[in-house]
Amino acid sequence: MSLNLSSNGPAFTACETRQGVPLGYVSEKLAHAIIDTHAAGVAHPEARKRLAHVMYSQTKAFLALHNVLAVADAPGLPEQLLGMERHELHSWIAAVVTHGDLLGAGEG
């Protein structure tokens, strides 16, 4: 699966100052939720259609957090993620974390 890590676009960017839970912690929890949803899809393939809606919401939040929101609109992304092997999903998550921009420091 190709990982098109384009930016969020100007409509979804804003400079913000925040104080609170570290964004890395939020990213980690979203990644675990994505992995757990994938595991539920493996254990219950008959529920994958319903789980695709959950996967879409989780991945959209995860990708937005890493400033690669445009990836969320890739056709069939939730279904592709649910259909991946476990190690492929972990690699996809790692690619988002590695190539994304959690703190928005790359935004001008």
- Let me know how long the chain is: 108
Given phi > 0 = left and psi -120 to 50 = alpha, else beta, which region is 20? left
Is 9 inside any structural domain?
no
Return the structure tokens found at 92. Answer: 């996809």
**Dist CA 80 CA 94 (whole Å):** 16
Give the total number of structural domains in the chain: 1
Is 81 inside any structural domain?
yes
Q: Render pLDDT for 17-61 as a digit per residue (tens, 0 to 9).
A: 777 889 999 999 999 999 999 999 999 999 999 999 999 999 999
Residue with token string 């890739």? 74
Is 15 inside any structural domain?
no
Is 46 inside any structural domain?
yes
Range of the domain at 94: 22-99
Helical H runs in 2-104? 23-43, 48-65, 77-83, 86-99
Q: pTM of the prediction? A: 0.82
Is 2 inside any structural domain?
no
Is 8 inside any structural domain?
no
